[in-house]
Each structure stands twice: as structure tokens, then as C-alpha cells.
Amino acid sequence: MDGTSPPDADASANKAGHVAVEDAVSTKVQKAAAPLYVSRIKVHPKDVKGLYRRIKWAVLALCLAVYYLAPFLRWDRGPTAPDQAILIDLPGRKAYFFMIEIWPQEVYFLTGLLILAAITLFLVTSLFGRLWCGYACPQTVWTDLFMWVERKIEGDRNARIKLDAAPYTAEKIVKRTLKHAAWIGIALATGGAWILYFDDAPTVVRDVFTGNATLTQYFFIGMFTATTYTLAGWAREQVCTYMCPWPRFQGAMLDDQSYVVTYEDWRGEKRGKLAKAAPGVDPWAGRGDCVDCNSCVAVCPTGIDIRDGQQLECIGCGLCIDACDAVMDKVGRPRGLIRFDTLANQACRAKGEPATHKFVRPRTLIYAGVLAFVGAVMLVALLSRATVELNVLRDRAPLFVTLSDGNIRNAYTIHVLNKTHAPRDFTLAVSGLQGAVLGVAGSDVAAAPVVTLAAKPDSVATYRVFVTVPSQSVRGKASSPVRFDLKPREGRGHADYDSVFLAPGR
């Protein structure tokens, strides 16, 4: 080591590590030198310590904890409904999310939820850049976890590069086998946890381990294990750069007031190795703060050089900030040569002006406004969600029946949706037809203006109902509008349905 080489970015890094960091070249530069079609250049991100790395570990732990523990949360809904807080009950055709219960005809709640999530993503991105990508995206979280395992088994960046180049010795085989076994183990746990959201979680866990789970469950475990293993183990940053649509339109969410990971080129350039200066001469005179140590490139999980400016591949994870800050500490220059900042601030700083930042801008206002609006609509819809619903299907054959006393009768199939957890009796009445009386098929109840229909808890009750009308009420009208009104015997709620009543038209 002579004095011309830059101080080690990482105090714990060994000699070999140091050399390799120097050699780190972003994938972009490597590719630029190659012909049109090049296969993937493997990225070997170096370990790094610092603020953003710590935040990243914390978010990772939180995400994983939520993912694995959420299915075990209980939520009491009474004896007729499952008590799992988050559950997608496919056979029962219902979805539960704490106090929210979604029936198939209410999937628009799901749409609303997705819209909310999308707009939140827009808002956060326009304020703070790709926080989602760098910290919370499952692809990032699991890739990070897989890289940690890889680092533990195969060593840090340089050891891995060496191992990659080395021939297959017993040691390499052992390490590789260990690594893939650990990966598959994590993938299995990931895939296994996925199905917990679709059935009673404790039962599923027991069934899976005792071999009593269904073939479908094992299939999905297998499928999610395979996808986790390939995506987090092999595909990694390629998912972000080639498969994920999000980077492609994030540019539309960002403007020069958004916080992004930036390199202060006005301060860093002209970069170069720190030369040993004569005593009394400032080694920093006439040059930038960047000592061209390439630490920022070596730690980047997507293999890019942030000093090239804003790039599609940058997921905004901030690891390069940690790496550079460590270098700046070493060489005694101020931190933040790479930092979270807005492009507008950077322009100001470059000119030596005080930085100003605007959180409130037309775009953030619009996103926040839309977010509040959709949220309010969802809330109102949820709060006013009916616990009873009515569906009416007119019989097609016969269209109508003329009875011996000349009265006209139509038959309807009535579906009563009782969304409460208790059995309920409902009254059904029709309006719009003079003298209409109702009767229920299969029951001996005489025709009456109002009939009672019972429905079991959480279920759809089906009845065939006859509506009989004196012929003079529909004389000359082939079709008359009719409205069905359904009310629970006790409690609030109400549902109606508009249908038609057909008659001979004579």
C-alpha cells in the first residue's frame, strides 16, 4: 500500500477486498464495451455499514415480521365466520381484512384498495423518490435477505468474485451447495407462508408438516418456492431493470423537487486518486472531493455508478451514500458527496445558494387530493355497506301465466344475501302494481301482500316467488315496472330491486 491509494472505505475490509473495490466498474460501463448482445454481468454487491443500511435492515425485519405473523392474528367474528384477521376464503367466496368483509359482488373494494395503494406510491415517489423500490418492495427485501445469506456463506464481494472464477473444488462445491440449500430453505418458508392467507393458518401449518395438506396447497407452496428462489436468488436486479414496469414510468412521478439519491458532481469533480502532496500544499486544491475509490459502485445492488447521474436502474436504496460517507470520513471531507437530495437543491448548492425545498407542489397536491378523495369514497362505501342484498331473476319460461280467474302471474327467483353472522327473517313486498299479491313456491302460505323469507347467517337464500296481479291492473300493458323491497324483520338495512312484470298486453 502506498500513500497514493485511497484509504480503505471499509475498516473491516481486507487487502483483497480493497483491490477489488478499486476495480469495481458499473455494469453499464462493462456493457458499453461489449457487442450488442451480452449476457448478464453478475453483480457482487459489497457489504456496507451505515445509516441507510441500518434503516434497510429494520424495514426488512418489519416486512418479514408482518408477512409471517399477519396470518396468525385473530379477529373474532362470531361462531359462523372464520376468526382469522386477514383471510382470503376462496371456497367460501369471501375475503376478510380485520373488520372489513368482502363478498364477491363487492370486489370493487379491492379495486379501491389497489387504487389507494397506487396513488400512495405516486405521492411518496414524488416526495421522496423510490423509497418503495429501495426498501419495501418484496423483490428488494428478499433479494437483500438472499444476499445476506450469500455473504455469510461465500464471503464478501471479493471472495465471491474469486469463488466465481475458481474451478470446482470441494470447497466451492460445499459453499455453493450450502448457499443454494439455505436459499431454498428461505424460499420454502416464503412459499409456505403465502398459503397461510388462504386458510386457517395454524391448521395449515399443522397439515403441511403432517402431510395432510391438499395437493393444491403443496402445489402453491412449490410454485412460490420456485419463484422466490429464482427471483431473489438468480434474477435479482434484472427484475428491477427488465421485468418491473414501475421504473419505466416513475420518471413521470418525479420532478426536481423530489428527493432522490444524487451525486454532488459540482463538489466531487474533478475526481481522482488522492495524490500525496508536498508538505504545506493542500492535497485537495484544484480537484473534487471524489477520490474515485469506486466504493459506491461496489456496494450498489443494481451494479450502477451513481456518479453517472440519475438512472433507471437506481432503486434509491441509499447504500452508495453509506459507502461514500465512510470514505469521506476517512479522507476528512464533509459527508454527503452522495446524498438524498432534490435536483433543485443540488442546483442551488452548486451555485452556492441556500437550498430551498417545496413539499407542496401542484403534483403532490393533486396526488394528495386524489388520495383523500378515493379514501373518503372508500370509507363512505365501507361504512354504509349493506348487510343485506337482493337479487331478482325473472322466470323466462313461461313469461307469464294466466290463471283461471283471469289474473296474471309472474314468477321470480329471489336471492337474499344475508351478510350478517346471525340468521335473519326478511319481509319481501312489491310495489308498482295495483293489487299484487305474493306467494312462495313450495310453501302453503296463501298469497299475501307481504311474504317472509328466512336466510341463514353469511349466506345466500334462494326462493321462487310468485307475483299475482288482477288482470285489470296490467290491462293493455305488456310490461310494467315492479319494485321488490326487502327489509329485515329486526334491525336496520334495506334492499330493493327493480324488475318488470309481463302480461299478455291485451
- Are 269 and 288 spatial neighbours (Cβ–Cβ below 8 Å)? yes
Q: Does 290 bind ligand SF4 (CB under 6 A)?
A: yes
Residues of the shown chain interacting with another protein in the complex, contacts defined by CB under 8 A: 395-399, 401-406, 409, 411, 441-442, 464, 466
Task: Residue 364: name the closest of 247, 252, 251, 253 by CA.
Answer: 253
- In this structure, is the dihedral angle defined by the CA atoms of residues 363, 366, 370 and 373, taken in order, positive or negative? positive
* Residue 466 binds: one of another protein, ligand SF4, none (C-beta under 5 to 8 A by kind): another protein
Task: Give least dist CB 30 to another protein, A.
Answer: 22
Radius of gyration of the chain (CA): 33
Question: How many whole angstroms separate alpha carbon 102 and alpha carbon 109?
Answer: 7
For 109-152, the DSSP string reads: HHHHHHHHHHHHHHHHHHHHSSHIIIII-HHHHHHHHHHHHHHH
Comparison of 214 and 462: residue with beta carbon closer to another protein: 462
Task: Give least dist CB 290 to ligand SF4, A.
Answer: 3
Polymer length of the chain: 506
* Residue 261 binds: one of another protein, ligand SF4, none (C-beta under 5 to 8 A by kind): ligand SF4
Q: Does 411 bind ligand SF4 (CB under 6 A)?
A: no
Task: Give least dist CB 279 to ligand SF4, A.
Answer: 24
For 245-274, the DSSP string reads: SHHHHHTTT--TTSEEEEE-HHHHPSP---
Question: How many whole angstroms separate alpha carbon 233 and alpha carbon 182?
Answer: 11
Q: Does 291 bind ligand SF4 (CB under 6 A)?
A: yes
Q: Does 241 bind ligand SF4 (CB under 6 A)?
A: no
Comparison of 63 and 314: residue with beta carbon closer to ligand SF4: 314
Comparison of 207 and 265: residue with beta carbon closer to ligand SF4: 265
For 270-313, the DSSP string reads: SP---PPPPTTS-TTTTS-S-----HHHHH-TT---GGG-S-TT
Comparison of 330 and 394: residue with beta carbon closer to ligand SF4: 330
| Contact characters 246-275, ligand SF4, x per CB under 6 A | ---------------x------x--x----
Q: Rule CB under 6 A: which of 312-341 touch ligand SF4?
A: 314-320, 323-324, 327, 337-338
What cell does 484 get? 321488490
Task: Give least dist CB 8 to ligand SF4, A.
Answer: 11
* Residue 409 binds: one of another protein, ligand SF4, none (C-beta under 5 to 8 A by kind): another protein
Among 193, 306, 469, 474, binds ligand SF4 (CB under 6 A): 306
Task: Give least dist CB 344 to ligand SF4, A.
Answer: 19
* Residue 406 binds: one of ligand SF4, another protein, none (C-beta under 5 to 8 A by kind): another protein
- Are 131 and 258 spatial neighbours (Cβ–Cβ below 8 Å)? no
Task: Give least dist CB 143 to another protein, A.
Answer: 24
Q: Does 20 bind ligand SF4 (CB under 6 A)?
A: no
Query: How far is C-alpha 244 from the chain's CA centre?
Result: 13
Task: Give least dist CB 401 to another protein, A.
Answer: 5
What CA–CA distances, in Å, run from 278 to 275, 283, 286, 409, 443? 10, 8, 15, 109, 107
| Strand partners for 413 | 393, 464
Q: Rule CB under 6 A: which of 105-124 touch ligand SF4?
A: none
Question: How many whole angstroms separate alpha carbon 154 and alpha carbon 139?
Answer: 22
Q: Does 137 bind ligand SF4 (CB under 6 A)?
A: no
C-alpha triplet 237, 242, 246: angle, nearest 5°: 90
Helix (H, G, I), strand (E, B) or coil at 358: coil
Task: Give least dist CB 319 to ligand SF4, A.
Answer: 4
Task: Give least dist CB 284 to ligand SF4, A.
Answer: 12
Stretch that binds ligand SF4, among 181-189, 204-212, 304-312, 393-401 (CB under 6 A): 304-312
Comparison of 306 and 433: residue with beta carbon closer to another protein: 433
Site of interaction with ligand SF4 (CB under 6 A): 261, 268, 271, 290-296, 299-302, 304, 306-307, 314-320, 323-324, 327, 337-338
